[in-house]
A and B are shown apart, each in its own frame.
Chain A
Amino acid sequence: MIEHVPVLLIALPILAAVVPTILGIRFDRVGWPVAVLGMLVHAALAVALAMTVLGGRRISYEVGGFLAPFGIELVADAFTAILVLLIGAVGLAVLAYARTAGPRTNSFYGLYLLLVAGLTGMTVTGDVFNLYVFLEITGLAAYGMVATGDRADAAVAALKYLLIGTVGASLYLLGVGYAFVGTGTLNMADMAEKLATLGYDSPLVLTAFGLVVGGLVVKIALYPLHTWQPDAYSTAPDSVSTLISALVSTVAAYALARILFSVFTVDFFLAVPIAQYALLAIASVSIVAGSLLAVTQTDIQRMLAYSSVSQFGLVVVGIALATPIAVVGAIVHLVGHAVMKGGLFAASGIVRRKTGVKSVEEFDGLADRAPIAAACFAVLSLAMVGVPPAVGFVGKWYIVVGAVRAGQWAVLAVVLASTLLTLAYFLRLIERMYFTAPDHGAGHDGESEPVGDAPVADGGQPAVSTGMVALIVVASITAVALGLVVPAIESALQPTLLEVLGL
């Protein structure tokens, strides 16, 4: 039974995605309950998967009974399990938020479940073309969800996201195509062997690498291919930006790691060191550029989007260093960032709904107007900066140690500087919230009516529900507590990592 879990994890959300539309013929507002049910089942399956593989086992499943490498193989190891758990947990948690905040249409929840299915598929698959399919499914669901925002610029942002995202996915597909031409297989494990025999420095392999990585870098939104992200995150409804910021780039980064370690393997980096340096360079530039751009922003959600650009630079540094300790750091930061950034977007949404505050200047005195949201915002910001013992620090520590051990001094300096850079754009918010009195003169211009996100106007419900507040409180506590759980994660990952990194 357990070996069917990978395929059930994908199939059930897809089936569930259709239900709201069908039931919508008869019932109204049936999307949310169906989504909750679907996510509960998904989460349960994720836990079952995790309990099986966290310890070094691998599950593989051949779809349709077609033997690998001809059929599609789904593979789950410890790394996969962590991501699937994250998807399940965040997907479920954001529903608590979306109940009051989110769009309430049935089609939205259909897209929601489709997004979860796509993300899970990307995580569980063992086939590079299948990865592309789920990449596109995720992308299409995400474009659609971004477009459900009320505003005209949401439509533009969604279109921009669609165009740039499709370019990225197409680059990835092209890369896969070249790899297929060279190796004759699409199965990850098989391709790894065949690439080795092809020779890592052959132009075909190098091109495939460049295109695949380029495509995924667009999806992760590293500088300078990040331009879709600020618009999409700031114009999307709050539930959507919470969900997408926590999961989509995260899973794309996982996909990058998976392709690097399971298809190209660490031996590729050893044979072609320039590839590793290039990736490290792009990631380091992203850390710096993302932070600098974040500092210049006035809109909160745009600032958080640029912050993601910077943080994912940190994650890709960990991945590109390709040593066990650095990769653990990358994974820890991946999960931690998902919790922190999702929490920050949720908090900014609550703040906007309660007080109408959208921009940095309006944050003055927010601690009095929205005390819980302000406190959670402060805790999550400090966790992101890397104040111990929060998870943001732990991930950073691992990556620092990894950089030191690898002798990458320039990268080390950038990673250390990232603390100060992150502080630069978060400090002013904390300062404004707690230590600046609101300027009563200008306040009324900036304040707008609290905005509901649903296309259908809602008369009776409060702007901010307990569920929403509970979400950000839980996120804040998790951000700190997760730092303490890391040893368990690390020891669970160790056997898998050593295998994946070929050690």
Chain B
Amino acid sequence: MSEVDTLLPLAAILVSALAIPVILALGKRPNLREGATFVAAFLKFAIVASFVPGVLAGTRYVTDLGVFATGIELSLRVDALGLLFALLASTLWIVASVYSIGYMRGLSEHTQTRYFAAFAASLAATIGVAFSANLLTLFLFYELLTVATYPLVTHDETPEARAAGRKYLAYTFGGGVAVLGGTALIFWLTGTTAFTPGGIAGLVSQDPTVARLAFVLLAGGFGVKAALMPMHSWLPDAMVAPTPVSGLLHAVAVVKSGVFGIARLVLDVYGTDGVAELGMSLPLAAIAAFTLVAASIIALRQDNLKRRLAYSTISQLSYIVLGLALLDEYALIGGLLHIPAHGFMKLTLFLCAGAIHVETHTDNISEMAGIGRRMPITMAAFAIAAAGMAGIPLLAGFVSKWYLVIGAVNTGGTIFAGALLLSGILNIAYFWPIVYQAFFESPEQHDDKPLIEHPRGGRGGVRLDGGEERDGSDSEDDTGQVDGQDGGRAHAGEEHHDHGTGWERRDWFGSEASWFVLAPILATATGSILIGVAPSIVVFLEIIEEIVDALPLVVSLL
């Protein structure tokens, strides 16, 4: 394992940070402004990708920014785990930026400059989280990520958006405070917070009780962003954000940074040995398994598509945490592979939801019967990604789930394997109706949805993306809502769902929506298939094997 001192990791972070003033200055020239975003995104991807061959060969790239106080040593280190996360985030930023253009312009959204600038800031912070070499640097970028994503959550500036933003900040800063406390305890016990593969020496042996307390604080703090129950409720409310935000940030960057934090905690702070010694493996696995199942059940009752996807995210994130908690080689591979797998699949789903919103202003599943006529490519991609979520073979979700289930059985935790399989069934239960009704039903003739329409069901949840009330009639009449989208009614192809006449038919060659919106959807759907069919070609699996090979492993929970 050789270490190379280079400024490239810092450059990877700063590329988009430096793009922020450029984007702000180009506010009046939208095409140039978007160009700045693309330049930053491609540069970032290029730098991150350039690390891949070296890291796979065992080189680690290090940038040491100096000691800023006792214990606050800012340094960056590109290792396999960080590269996994950074590669995912930087790849998907390009996709999300293309999509953002179609989405924001399609809805004539306001304050687009602030949006793109905040997006660039968020990605800078995400790469910072990925490349942090110690807990304090990670904490720094973690908090900056919270601050950078806040303007995106409250983008709509409606009362719901502000309330969601408040909740988001309260939860994530609370999590940050817990992380800070845990970090201070670790610093006190060992004098360092640096990530050491296999665990920081002497952490567990010094004082097991304090080490346990620190683990709980850190896991809890990171768990807020990872949406572990009961700290998950900010995520469904955060769906008021524009869809690219919900897709990239709240399915890929922000929530994965929480999961990434837990990964660092388990692998590089305590080490798998340390976690097993402290006996924290079982509690963490139990919480993850509970979240898995409970979130899937709640998802069944959501009528709003984005809220359903949010609960699906909560559930799927716990797959990763479960994999980490089980401490078995296969479980770790499965959990870590689920990071990119879920990222691609969930982003596809969100992009589809956003496309539906832009083109038809439909947000609720109960109003989407027959929408496959109007948006065939979108719904096909949705079907592919949904199948992947459920764990159907040949798609991304299958590979990670396969490893996870094997790992669970290996460690003797068959109940966890059972939870995973149950969740798979529930995934089918809440995704299949959407796909089925899109292609095989129509507005005039569709089956009842008792889970949603029952009085105690999900109807009447948070109104998203502008909060337009739907009751079967045209809604030009949003009163009193400061809402940029209503100004943009003149775009082509816009129509309301209308139970009387059904959906307009569109062909399969892209006339259903702007190519800015469709191309990203196809890209992420293809990615989901590729990861499922040939995971090692897409380099993610190789990186993960590199991570896992370096670890001393514990085989059994018992």
- Taking beta carbons and an 8 Å cutoff, which residues of A are in contact with B? 325, 328, 382, 385, 387-389, 393-394, 397-398, 400-401, 404-405, 412, 416-417, 419-420, 423, 427-428, 431, 434-437, 483-484, 486-487, 490
Contact = CB atoms under 8 A, between A and B. Distances in A.
A436 B154 CA distance: 9
Contact of B177 (A397, A416, A427): A416
Contact of A483 (B68, B136, B170): B68
Contact of B70 (A385, A419, A437, A490): A490
B69 A397 contact: yes
A490 B140 CA distance: 20
B386 interface: no
Interface string B145-174: 001000100100100011001100110011
A469 to B, nearest CB: 18
Interface string B187-206: 11000000000000000000
A403 B498 CA distance: 63
B72 A436 contact: no
A427 B188 CA distance: 31
Contacts of A417: 177
Contacts of A436: 157, 162
Interface stretch (B178-186, B316-324, B464-472, B519-527): B178-186
Contacts of A486: 68-69
Contacts of B69: 394, 397-398, 486-487, 490
15 contacts: A382-B147, A387-B143, A389-B74, A398-B69, A416-B178, A416-B181, A417-B177, A419-B173, A420-B174, A427-B169, A431-B154, A431-B165, A435-B151, A435-B161, A490-B70
Contacts of A325: 70
Contacts of A419: 173, 176-177, 180
A420 B177 contact: yes
B67 interface: yes
Chain A CB within 10 Å, residue with most, of B72, B136, B165, B178: B72
B157 A397 contact: no
A102 to B, nearest CB: 33
Contacts of A389: 68, 74, 140
B32 interface: no
B194 to A, nearest CB: 16
Given A400-B180, A423-B170, A435 B70 contact: no
Contacts of B74: 389
Interface of B: 66-72, 74, 136, 139-140, 143-144, 147, 151, 154, 157, 161-162, 165-166, 169-170, 173-174, 176-178, 180-181, 184-185, 187-188, 482
A412 to B, nearest CB: 7
Contacts of B140: 388-389
Contacts of B162: 431, 435-436
A428 B150 CA distance: 13
Nearest to A412: B181
B100 to A, nearest CB: 19
A420 B224 CA distance: 15
B177 A401 contact: no
> What 10 pairs across the A-B complex have the smallest Cβ distances?
A388-B140, A435-B154, A404-B188, A400-B184, A404-B184, A416-B177, A437-B482, A486-B69, A435-B157, A416-B181
Nearest to A367: B114
A397 B151 contact: no
Nearest to A428: B166
Nearest to A325: B70
Chain A CB within 10 Å, residue with most, of B67, B68, B166: B68
A388 B188 contact: no
Contacts of A398: 69-70
A394 B68 contact: yes
A401 B157 CA distance: 39
Q: What does DSSP make chain B's interface, helix, strand, loop or mixed?
A: helix
A420 B170 contact: yes
Chain A CB within 10 Å, residue with most, of B157, B173, B185: B173
B409 to A, nearest CB: 40
B178 to A, nearest CB: 8
A484 B161 CA distance: 35
A419 B180 CA distance: 10
B70 A401 contact: yes
A434 B180 CA distance: 28
Nearest to B189: A404
Nearest to B154: A435
Nearest to A378: B147
B40 to A, nearest CB: 22
A397 B144 contact: no
A486 to B, nearest CB: 5
A383 to B, nearest CB: 11
B184 A397 contact: yes
Given A419-B176, A431-B165, A487 B71 contact: no
Contact of A388 (B144, B170, B177, B184): B144
A488 B144 CA distance: 24
Contacts of B177: 416-417, 419-420
Contacts of A400: 180-181, 184
A437 B69 CA distance: 41
B185 A404 contact: yes
Given A388-B139, A400-B184, A487 B68 contact: yes
A192 B61 CA distance: 54
Contacts of A385: 173
Contacts of B136: 397
B72 A394 contact: yes
Given A419-B173, A420-B177, A423-B170, A405 B71 contact: no
Contacts of A393: 143
Nearest to A434: B151
A484 B157 contact: no
Nearest to A435: B154
A487 B67 contact: yes
Nearest to B151: A434
Contact of B173 (A394, A401, A423): A423
A423 B143 CA distance: 13
A294 B277 CA distance: 45
A486 B185 CA distance: 22
Contact of B187 (A387, A401, A412, A487): A401
Given A387-B143, A387-B144, A388-B143, A435 B176 contact: no
Chain A CB within 10 Å, residue with most, of B68, B69, B74, B169: B69
Contacts of B169: 423, 427
Contact of B71 (A397, A416, A437): A397
B107 to A, nearest CB: 18
Nearest to B185: A404
Contacts of A416: 177-178, 180-181
Chain A CB within 10 Å, residue with most, of B67, B162, B184, B482: B184
B222 to A, nearest CB: 16
B308 to A, nearest CB: 26
B183 to A, nearest CB: 9
A420 B166 contact: no
Contacts of B154: 431, 434-435
Contacts of A431: 154, 162, 165-166
B53 to A, nearest CB: 32
Given A401-B184, A486-B69, 4 more contacts: A394-B72, A404-B184, A420-B174, A427-B169
A484 B493 CA distance: 54
Nearest to B153: A435
B170 to A, nearest CB: 7
A382 to B, nearest CB: 6
A385 B170 CA distance: 12
A123 B167 CA distance: 44
A401 B186 CA distance: 10
B151 to A, nearest CB: 7
B188 A405 contact: yes
A437 B68 contact: no
A435 B67 CA distance: 37
B188 A401 contact: yes
Nearest to A328: B70
Contacts of A420: 170, 173-174, 177
